[in-house]
Amino acid sequence: MNSNGVLYPNVTRIPGSAGDVSTENRSNLKDIRPGEFDQALSNALNTKQPASADLSQIKAGIKFSSHASQRLQERKINMDAKMMSKMNEAIDRAAAKGLEESLIISPDAAFIVSVKNRTVITAMDRDQMSGNVFTNIDGAVVI
């Protein structure tokens, strides 16, 4: 607004003020398209953990029941950062489909997971998968 109370919309300089926008700043402004900020913010908020992330960071998203932890040890099922990342993605996909109890099948193991709680209920290695009947699940995800 200037001294007479008139607002000049969409101008780079209000007459009678020292609020000039430099030519350098003005050229940067024209490169910004409407909605870019909203899109960039949305992308930043929705980013997933990178596959190379620390295992302890990824594990925070998945819990293991005491039964599942025991089965992992007994059956020597390796849960490295890459597998944990794939499990996180599988649980996300199951949740997106509205599943509650899901079977997640990897090349080396199978896991029954409570999708809502992000908790692995039990785990079995490849040998124990063969011939097994899986009950009380409402979907399966192959990773």
* CA angle at 54 for the pair 49 and 56, rounded to the nearest 5°: 100
Better-scored residue on pLDDT, 40 or 14: 40
Q: Looking at residue 95, what is its pLDDT?
A: 95
Q: Are the C-beta atoms of residues 84 and 111 closer than 8 Å to each other?
A: no
The percent of residues above 70 in pLDDT, for the chain, comes to: 58
pLDDT digits (tens, 9 = 90+) for 72-99: 999 999 899 999 999 999 999 999 999 9
Question: Of 6-10, 34-38, 59-63, which gets the smallest average pLDDT?
Answer: 6-10
Read off the pLDDT band of 37 (50, 70, 90): low
- The yes-or-no verdict on residue 67 having pLDDT over 80 is yes
Distances (CA, A) of 84 to 1, 27, 133, 141: 57, 46, 25, 14
Q: Whole-model pTM?
A: 0.58
- The yes-or-no verdict on residue 30 having pLDDT over 60 is no
Q: What is the mean pLDDT of the chain?
A: 77
